[in-house]
Each structure stands twice: as structure tokens, then as C-alpha cells.
Structure 1
Amino acid sequence: MDVPEIDIAEAARRHLAGTPVFDVREPDEYVAGHVPGAPLIPLGEVADRVAEFPASGEVLVICKAGGRSRKAAEILRAQGVDAVNIAGGTMAWVEAGNPVVTGAEPGARGA
């Protein structure tokens, strides 16, 4: 399946404009640092938790480097979610100087 992909600069612009970002890494990776406001839904849970993603509007999906988020975006797009992969993942997000927070987001499952 063809998955749209954006670079870190575009992801940061869209995030600041209010497009939701979802993190599909594992809880230990997430707690170490993640995009502010991004809920954690590990890749292995995405298919079972599709209802937690917005039914309309674009969503951005991020992992460590872009591989897991691409797979998650494929799963979501097959279920009708307008998911876009963030190329380079959290490593590129941090390298570009974008903000990260550590610890679990309030109400996060599994983190």
C-alpha cells in the first residue's frame, strides 16, 4: 500500500498547526522521550485500537526511525484513517531540535 510520508520539518509544522501525532514505539522508548502530546499506541496494538484514532482528518504517525510508523500507517489507511508517516522518526525529530517530553503522558496506557 502506498503510504504518504513527510519530513521532520513538515511534521513539526503540521503538529504546531494541530494535526495529531501518534507514537507507535514501545513504552520504554516512549517514556525516554516523545513528541509533546503524542499518545502511545505501540505498533502491535494499532490494529486493535483503530477506534482511538480520529475518524476524520489527517493523523501523523511516528516511531524511532520510520519503519514501524510506516507499517502502522498502512494498517490505519486500510481501515480508512488518513495516516501519514513521519520519515526519520523520533531520532530525526530530536536531531532537528524539536521539543520532546519524557515520562508518560497523563492517561497513557502501557507507559
Structure 2
Amino acid sequence: MKEMTAKEVEVALKKGKKLNLIDVREVDEIAAGKIPGVTNIPLHLIEFRMNELDKSKEYIMVCRSGGRSGQATMFLKNQGFNVINMTGGMLAWEGSVE
């Protein structure tokens, strides 16, 4: 499984890189703070909403600590998607939140 640290994601965003971020936390967790521009697809809905994703794009999966995003990364990878897990999740995120 491909991985990036929260710091690597933050640096890429600060450099203006366009990243496709998907946060797999529940809606109430997102309300406490999310990375600006992230798309929320709770983990239990990934299977049902993967038709919204484009297999030609790269996606970075985010959650609270990296566990659920790791599960989502493996699932989507097995479905033919190009995905990266953000290790450490929002607990490791030091960038801005909305």
C-alpha cells in the first residue's frame, strides 16, 4: 500500500499541488475539523459511492489515525483505483482545518 505522511500532504498542498483527498471519517467527526477541500465519504459508504471516483485520478485517503483510511485504501486498490493512505491521519495533521 502506498503511503504519505500528514506532513508530506500538508507540504504538497502548501506548494499548490492539486490533491484529491477523501476523508473516510463519520460526519460528526468531520464537523470537528477537516482538511480544506476534502471530500467526505464515510468508510461504510465507500463501496456504494466508489462510482463517484475516477480511476484515472490519484486519491489520498484520510481518517482520524490512519486505520480506516488504510482499509479504504486497500479496498479501492483492489477495485483498480490509484490510492494512497495518509499515515497518522488527522491526529498527525498540523495544517489548517475548516
SS at match of 1:83: strand
Within 5 Å, give how 1:10-89 maps onto structure 2: 10-15=8-13, 16-89=16-89
Q: Which amino acid letter does the alignment assign opposite residue 33 of structure 2?
A: G
How high is the sequence identity, in percent, across the aligned residues?
Answer: 35
| CA displacement at 1:24 relative to structure 2 | 0.1
Q: Which has the higher strand share?
A: 2
Alpha-carbon RMSD across the aligned residues, in angstroms, is: 1.1
| CA displacement at 1:71 relative to structure 2 | 0.1
Does the 8 Å CA contact 1:57/1:82 hold for their aligned counterparts?
Answer: yes
SS at match of 2:90: helix
Normalization by structure 2: what TM-score? Answer: 0.91
Does the 8 Å CA contact 1:58/1:83 hold for their aligned counterparts?
Answer: yes
Question: Number of residue pairs matched?
Answer: 96
Normalization by structure 1: what TM-score? Answer: 0.81
SS at match of 2:31: helix
